[in-house]
Structure 1
Amino acid sequence: MGRRARMTHLGVIGGGGWLAGALLRPVLTDRIIKPADLVLSSRSGNISGFEAWPGVHMTTDNAILVDASDVILLSIRPADIEALELDLRGRFVISVMAGVTVEEISDRFGAQRIVRAMPNACAEQRLSFTPWFATRDVRRSELDFARRFFAASGREHVISGEYELDYFTALTGSGPAFPALMADAMIRHAIESGIDPDTADIAVRQLFLGAATQMAGIAQTPADIVELFMEYRGTTAAGLSAMVEADLAHAVFKGLTAARRKAHRSD
């Protein structure tokens, strides 16, 4: 219990970024971190989005942040790591940077106890899928903290290591982006077919909300659902058949392959 209490001092480098805010607001709401035990750094030192927690500390000095914290969350763009000079020896480090390996984090900052994770833009709605893994030196209490931290913003899932994290950076790190691409195509088709743009937008948003909610709550796989509608041989089957014939899967595979390749090092 004593060790968990000490782990409530969290410093977030890149605390002004959208991802840090999306992760931290659910954590503060659930009281996993007390406002007085949270330090955020940014270039300006003035970070919005935390007005509901006036006790949160803000700074422009990363050294002050590190001195005040047991746990360091790295939430910056991968390219910005080049300018970061920190001594993180003895600290528990959580990184949500895409493409920056635990080896690089250790070599640059001296940290040995590291968690790498890849949440997505749905974190603030508590709907992120967050895969993560830890180096072997991470303590049991720190694993528990990481689990609770990411569970606050959705579904956390422990994976095997760097290879899988790079893949999930491509697959789920995109958040709503890939579904949004298909939604946009459906909206544009509806508009070209004479549907009012606002109505088309509302209809497709509700379609995706309903479909995602249903798929999340039933035992059938997405493939099972497709097969079920194909068996009806109705209008939906006609549309599905045309998409299969156009090799929609090939476009999806091609996009994920490109994203996965980029995830090996995201600059």
Structure 2
Amino acid sequence: MSAVLNCNITFIGGGNMAQALIGGLISRGLPATRITVSDPVESVRQLLLEKDVHVTDDNAAAIKHADIVVLAVKPQVLGTVLKPLHGLFDGKLIISIVAGAEIKTISALTGNDRVVRVMPNTPALVQTGAHGIFAYDAVETKDRELATQVLAATGLTIWVSSEAQVDAVTAVSGSGPAYFFYMMESMIRAGKNMGLDEKVATALTLQTALGAAQMAITSSNSPSELRKNVTSPNGTTQAALEVFDRAQISQNIQTALAAAQKRSQELAQELSDSIK
């Protein structure tokens, strides 16, 4: 983390994910005075002022003295935001958390090849994110380390070996929180159907999800082994899992994630075509 503490970091876009990263960086020791956020929405700027960071609605001014620029805008406005800034990114590391924006698109819009592409996820808001990261070989080791330090402020960082794998990351962890929320919704509904109070069903479900995740993270056993350990022959867990198997839940999950990956690929192409 030491290297990034000496950097000036500008965020273009001050939404939830940017705010999560800002909060994480400040908690790790980066002085708020080293952070600048440019956002067109006054209420967002006012909220960020409470963190004592610099705020502006002038993108060009915001990046002028930056060492690192984090692109955190909506995909549909990426071209509008970056085209007027072309050529102003010389000497700066660009970290893009813009969904679907390929590195070649970012490089063409900025005139800079020092680009790291990131697929974050929303648990970054509570410092438990999972970030898939990719950069071309031309991006130097020191830039990769800086990007890792910025993102590690809000969770796990995993470098992938090809940009195509970012679409798989999107399917697994980018969209992944929604899959678990879906499972939680279903378990809470089932608990209510069996006579539990909604608050009780919710508390039991959420704590069980947290406990299962923590066990999987800290155990030397794989999730498959952990599942087997809790499944007694002819017991209650086996009865439930047999229903899952008959419904081909595992196969359906794999099919669903493949659909998410395909849609991620389509969105990247649509974004690229819209900017040309």
- Of Structure 1 and Structure 2, which has the larger fraction of its residues in helix? 2
Aligned twin of 2:172? 171
Q: Percent of aligned positions with the same letter in both sequences?
A: 28
Aligned counterparts of 2:6 and 2:94: Cα–Cα separation in 1: 11
User: Which one is further off, 149-158 or 207-216?
Assistant: 149-158
Aligned counterparts of 1:51 and 1:209: Cα–Cα separation in 2: 33
The equivalences for 1:18-167 within 5 A come to 18-31=16-29, 33-45=30-42, 46-50=44-48, 53-54=51-52, 56-84=53-81, 85=83, 86-87=85-86, 88-167=89-168
1:5 Cα offset (Å): 7.1
Question: TM-score scaled by structure 1?
Answer: 0.91
Are 1:13 and 1:72, in contact at CA under 8 Å, matched by a contact in 2? yes
Aligned counterparts of 1:118 and 1:5: Cα–Cα separation in 2: 20
1:24 Cα offset (Å): 1.5
Aligned counterparts of 1:49 and 1:144: Cα–Cα separation in 2: 30
State the Cα deviation string for residues 196-246 of structure 1 (Å, max 9, x = none).
Answer: 111111111111011111111101111112333445331101111111111
1:102 Cα offset (Å): 0.4
Are 1:14 and 1:20, in contact at CA under 8 Å, matched by a contact in 2? yes
Indicate the SS of the match to 1:169.
helix
Q: Kindly tell me: are residues 5 and 30 of structure 1, through their superposed partners in 2, closer, same or farther at Cα, counting changes over 3 Å?
A: closer
State the Cα deviation string for residues 79-106 of structure 1 (Å, max 9, x = none).
Answer: 1113122222332100011211101111
1:49 Cα offset (Å): 4.7
Indicate the SS of the match to 2:209.
helix
Aligned twin of 1:217? 218
Indicate the SS of the match to 2:196.
coil
Q: Kindly tell me: are residues 159 and 228 of structure 1, through their superposed partners in 2, closer, same or farther at Cα, counting changes over 3 Å?
A: same
1:163 Cα offset (Å): 1.1
Are 1:89 and 1:112, in contact at CA under 8 Å, matched by a contact in 2? no
Are 1:73 and 1:95, in contact at CA under 8 Å, matched by a contact in 2? yes
Q: Which amino acid aligns with 1:66?
A: I
Aligned counterparts of 1:152 and 1:175: Cα–Cα separation in 2: 20
1:66 Cα offset (Å): 1.7
Number of matched pairs: 262
Q: Which blocks of at least 5 consecutive residues in structure 1 are unaligned?
A: none
User: Which one is further off, 71-80 or 231-240?
Assistant: 231-240
Are 2:90 and 2:112, in contact at CA under 8 Å, matched by a contact in 1? yes
Aligned counterparts of 2:47 and 2:181: Cα–Cα separation in 1: 25
State the Cα deviation string for residues 21-60 of structure 1 (Å, max 9, x = none).
Answer: 11220111111x3211111011124425545532x11011
Aligned counterparts of 1:49 and 1:240: Cα–Cα separation in 2: 47
Are 1:98 and 1:118, in contact at CA under 8 Å, matched by a contact in 2? yes
Aligned twin of 2:264? 263
Indicate the SS of the match to 2:133.
strand
Aligned twin of 1:10? 9
Q: Kindly tell me: are residues 52 and 44 of structure 1, through their superposed partners in 2, closer, same or farther at Cα, counting changes over 3 Å?
A: closer
